Chain A
Amino acid sequence: MPDSDYIILVFAMGVVTYVPRWAPLFLLASRRLSDRMIEWLDLIPAAILSALLLPALLLSPEPRLVSLLRPELLAAVPTFLVALKTKSLGGTVVVGMTLYWLIDRVI
């Protein structure tokens, strides 16, 4: 059995992770939101996905520096075009992985 200190630590981590995931669903889902709020929330997915992706593609991990020759970025351009053209999630994932694997091999 893990010792109680560890269990308390992990449990507390779980709580502070869970509450931000839970509160908006609990408070907003049944509420009638203003049109402005709906418009804002509708833009959030595009904003978040882009904010997650672009730094991951453009920046090297610690120290963070812009680098245009990372395999992550080089593979992203054709992967983006494939997604745009095919609109297929499964196809894009397979093509993306293959391209990354090939580019990583060459560089």
Chain B
Amino acid sequence: MFLCNYRVYLWKQRIRILNQKSVHNGQALQDAAVAAWPICLGYIPVGLAFGVLAQKAGLRPVEIGLMSLLVFAGSSQFIAVSMLAAGAVPLAIILTAFTVNLRHFLMSSSLALYMGHTSKKLLSLFAYGVTDESFAVNLFRFRQGGWDVKRALCVNHIANLAWVTSTLLGGYGGKLIPEGAFGIDYALNSMFICLLVFQLRGKKYVVTALLSGGLAVLLALVVAGNSYIVLASILAATLVVCLGGKGFAL
């Protein structure tokens, strides 16, 4: 069933690629802005908080901006700053960043399904902007249709701009938003909840999500760090594929 849908999807994708050359760039940017605003809304308070924290840890705004630009991964940046403040050796900080961000490997793998006709150069640029948030938004849009690499790239870069700018502002001591205002701290959680709902397109996906979420909670209780995200996702998806292969009606 799914494969059939997928082939239809591939055809639609091909037709879309033929059409897309006529699409105006301004329209692409506008579509991307509409898709990216929940990400920006979520990044602003987190970015400001990061900037303030990094400044307290002794980093100057230019150093904060440089990290946001080169790394562009929220949680690993928070960890790096607290490790810097604690006087950790550089190698430990780098290895931690690697493990914390390894989950993007899975996200890029999943996005690769929709990027078959993209040049390697464009893929390499796109890879820079793969975060939890841009992944979830772009994947949903690709699946929904009417989405292309140009729009996805715009989403990545709008999100990147919001992140770099808000961390910089935080670094200049800007507490522009009072703590807990307007529930803005919940913007990304709400976004993820909705994007998860969009992913639940059948029993198979519901079972995978329940399995993965349950495993993630259990693993998070016993293993430190965030490796539970990758472990739980791989385990759940593999189990469901195997069970489906064994003839369970999923």
Contacts and interface: CB of A to CB of B under 8 A. Distances in A.
B189 A17 contact: no
Nearest to B191: A93
Contacts of A100: 183, 185-186, 189-190
Interface in A32-85: 33, 35-36, 38-59, 64, 66, 72, 75-76, 79-80, 83-84
Interface residues of B, number: 96
Q: Which of B95, B192, B240 has the most CB of A within 10 A?
A: B192
A17 B232 contact: no
A83 to B, nearest CB: 4
B221 A66 contact: yes
**Interface SS of chain B:** helix
Interface in B166-193: 180, 182-187, 189-193
A25 B186 contact: no
A83 B225 CA distance: 30
Main secondary structure of the interface of A (DSSP, over half): helix
Interface stretch (B15-23, B24-32, B60-68, B157-165): B60-68
Interface of B: 2-3, 6, 37-38, 41, 60, 62-63, 66-67, 70-73, 76, 80, 90, 93-95, 97-98, 101-113, 115-116, 118, 120, 123-124, 126-128, 130, 132, 135-136, 139-140, 180, 182-187, 189-200, 204-205, 208-217, 220-221, 228-229, 232-234, 236-238, 240-241, 244-245
Query: Lowest 3 A-B CB distances belong to which pairs?
Result: A96-B190, A101-B183, A14-B70
